Each structure stands twice: as C-alpha cells, then as structure tokens.
Amino acid sequence: MSNIIVCGACGRMGSAIINMAKQDKDFNIVAGTEIDSSPSIGNKNPLIVKSSDMESVVNAGDIIIDFTIASNTMKNVELALKKNAKLVIGTTGLTDENKEVLKKAGEKISIVFAPNMSTGINLLLDIVENISKKIPNYDVEIVEIHHNKKKDSPSGTAIRLAEAVAAGHNKSLNDVGVYGRHGTQTLRKPEEIGVHAVRCGDVCGDHTVYFASEGEVIEISHKATSRACLVAGALRAAKWINDKPAGLYDMRDVLGLK
C-alpha cells in the first residue's frame, strides 16, 4: 500500500482523486493540501493543511500527486527531493524552465509528468506523431475546448499534441508553433502548426487535430466526458511509479507505449 498526499485536494481534480483512491486498497491517503485561505483547512478525512505547510506532512507520504499551479508544483518538487518522495504531476501551464527543473529532479527521484493522464489522449499522441511522419506536407491545426474556469491557455494537452506533430516533422515547436491568429497579415505558412483555445461552459476537455490538404481534411478528436479518465490515469501512474527508479517519465511510459 502506498501513502499518498494529494495537492490541490479540494479542487476539481484533487477531490476526484481522493474519492477514487479511497475505493482502492492500494492507496492510503495520508494528507492533502489546499490554498491557505481554503475553508477546508483542518479537515481530518484526510488531513487538509495549507499549501505553505506542506513540509509538515511531506514525511508521511510515499507519493505526492499534484494538480495545482506551476509555482506551487515547483515548491513541491523541492520538498520531494528532500524527502526522496515520488511525484505524479498533472499541473498544466509549466514553462520550459519549469520542465528543466523536473528533468533535473528526475535524476534523483521518480516523477511521472503529463498534462493529460487519460489513456485516450496518450494513444492519440502516438497516432498524431505517426500520421505527421506519413503526411508531412499537410497543414496541421489543433483546436482545444475547456471550461470557462481554466486559467492557462492553450491547454497543456494541446501543446503536447503540437509537440507530437512537430516531432513527426522533425521540427521544434518553438520554431513552427502559432498560437491563435488575429489581424490582416496572418497568411498561413506551410510549416506552421496552429494551436487555438476556446473557453466555454463546463467542458472537461475536447481536443481535435486537423490534417488538411487539397480536397480533403482528416480530423482526429478526443473528448473527455468527465474527469474520471484523468483521475484513473493519475492513480494508474501512482501505482506504476511505486517501484520505478529515478527518472522523468510520462504517461506513454506508464501505458507501455514507448
């Protein structure tokens, strides 16, 4: 049995992770963290502490599951290094600098990092990269839709899909990514990978990749109808990482797709 700490315990993902983990004999939820102003601070089932007090509970956990914000996640990485705890990170909006921190931390501790932990999305990443290799001259555009409370844009999943396309084209997304278009001088360049974000309602997450050429359009889509697929993926990652050596892994490692 693994002792887990859930960061962002009372948020959409955190509370869903706790509810599902309580039904699984492989997990013992020892604590959760929340923003310092949360009315849930002090709850006992599990113990909820302020994010700023994470150090007071970190020694009780074997695995830290983090779906918070970049600044908080980076603090938790530091604590995990001190404790030698394992990390499952689903936080989105991480910068390239943040990702370098994770890469360096992965030299000492085990980390699974993925902006989307659903099985379907990670299968889609493989499909998209393979298609991109076979039709490198097609225009590629990615559209993602999320609920109106989502803070970062575009989604981490959309960026990962764009990275998969770029990898299939043997290019860097930093060189060919275009994020939205506005104005009169936006004629599409052949090598561009367009990424576009929509925010509305309570959509859990819709992602569509368009491959287009003269006379045809290929659409590949994934729609999350609830967060259950993300929660199941996070807990699957927590089980998988339990006996893994230090390294920075993603969900394709967890699913055996690499």
Q: What is the mean pLDDT of the chain?
A: 93
So what's the pLDDT on residue 58? 87
Neighbours of 21 (CB within 10 A): 21
Q: Per-residue pLDDT tens for 93-117? A: 899 999 999 999 999 999 999 989 9
Which band of pLDDT confidence, cut at 50, 70 and 90, is reported for residue 92? confident
DSSP character string of 65-131: EE-S-HHHHHHHHHHHHHHT-EEEE------HHHHHHHHHHTTTSEEEE-S---HHHHHHHHHHHHH
Task: Give me the mean pLDDT over the 180-203 stretch.
Answer: 93
Burial zone of 172 (CB within 10 Å; 0-12 exposed, 13-18 middle, 19+ buried): exposed
Q: Which residue has the tokens 């994010």?
A: 51
Q: Per-residue pLDDT tens for 211-224? A: 999 999 999 999 99
So what's the pLDDT on residue 38? 86
Q: Which residue has the tokens 């113990």?
A: 47
Q: Which residues pair with 6 in a beta bridge?
A: 32, 65
Neighbours of 201 (CB within 10 A): 9
Q: Which of 117, 162, 156 is nearest to 141 (CA)?
A: 162
**Phi and psi, residue 173, nearest 5°:** -60, -30
For residue 117, what are its two tokens? Answer: 């932990």
Task: Give the CA distances from residue 73 to residues 32, 113, 115, 160, 209, in Å, rounded to whole numbers and listed in that order.
Answer: 14, 11, 13, 19, 29
Which band of pLDDT confidence, cut at 50, 70 and 90, is reported for residue 155? very high
Q: Which residue has the tokens 């998988």?
A: 240
pLDDT at 161 over 90: yes
| Dist. CA 169–CA 114, nearest whole Å | 22
Which band of pLDDT confidence, cut at 50, 70 and 90, is reported for residue 125? very high
For residue 150, what are its two tokens? Answer: 């989502």
| Dist. CA 198–CA 203, nearest whole Å | 10
Q: How far is CA 78 from the centre of its chain?
A: 19
Which band of pLDDT confidence, cut at 50, 70 and 90, is reported for residue 257? confident
Q: Which residues are catalytic?
A: 146, 150
Which band of pLDDT confidence, cut at 50, 70 and 90, is reported for residue 40? confident
Task: Give me the mean pLDDT over the 188-214 stretch.
Answer: 96
Task: Give me the mean pLDDT over the 70-96 stretch.
Answer: 93
